[in-house]
Amino acid sequence: MTNVKLAIIYYSMGGTNYQLSKWAEEGAKELGAEVKVLRVQELAPESVIQGNEGWKAHVEATKHIPVATSEDIEWADAIIFSVPTRFGNMPSQMKQFLDIQGGLWATGKTVNKVVSAMTSAQNPHGGQEATLLSLYTTMMHWGTIIVPPGYTDPVLFGAGGNPYGTSVTVDQNGNMVGDVQAAVKHQAKRTVTVAEWVKKANQ
């Protein structure tokens, strides 16, 4: 059992990255980690959300999920981010959340956090890897320890397997292509395990 504190911070419009986050939570808890699942603040106009039935339904279904704060980052030993791709980049909602953490960064409170990330897109080459790399670029500036899944388990050669982080293809009906749950859980457990090593080394 581990004493690692893991924050899973996501942005989701239709529910895919929320589901990835819940699977990551399950995987981390299997190792005994203390887990918070958190969403970043929505920036889209209410009128736009109300005009999209799927988006509106997801917002309503997840309104109980706490909004991530700087205090959550400071609390966590490890962070898993989960975001859809937006033209090969992370969504503006996640970018804003990261951009307002200058106070934590300036005081060294992001240093040596163990970080990993997951993503989704509507086609297999829709920018998943570029999205993860864009997020990891910020993490390099933060001084985090980036823990990609690599090819550290046979499950990563199947659906969702990606050495940068789990990446999911979503069809036009919003359904994930392939069984990616095992890849997500492996990534979560790897992140928690490395965070435990780092935590012990710093004690």
- Output the tens digit of pLDDT for each of the chain's 203 residues: 789 999 999 999 999 999 999 999 999 999 999 999 999 999 999 999 999 998 999 999 999 999 999 999 999 999 999 999 999 999 999 999 999 999 999 999 999 999 999 999 888 788 899 999 999 999 999 999 999 999 999 988 877 778 999 999 887 777 777 779 999 999 999 999 999 999 999 87
Residue 22: the pLDDT is 98
Compute the distance between CA of residue 49 and CA of residue 160 in angstroms, rounded to an integer: 28
Indicate the pTM of the whole model: 0.95
What residue spans of the chain are helical by DSSP H?
Answer: 16-30, 46-50, 53-61, 70-75, 92-99, 102-106, 128-142, 181-201
- H or E segment and range at residue 115: strand 114-121
Number of domains in the chain: 1
Residue 64: the pLDDT is 96
Terminal CA-to-CA distance of the chain, rounded, Å?
17
Closest by CA to 59, choosing from 7, 124, 12, 111, is 12
Q: Which CATH number characterizes residue 25's domain?
A: 3.40.50.360
Q: What are the φ/ψ torsions at residue 8 (nearest 5 degrees)?
A: -105, 110
Non-local (6+) Cβ contacts of 81 within 8 A are: 9, 10, 94, 115, 116, 117, 118, 135
- The parent domain of residue 10 ranges over 5-201
In contact, 117 and 80? CB cutoff 8 Å: yes
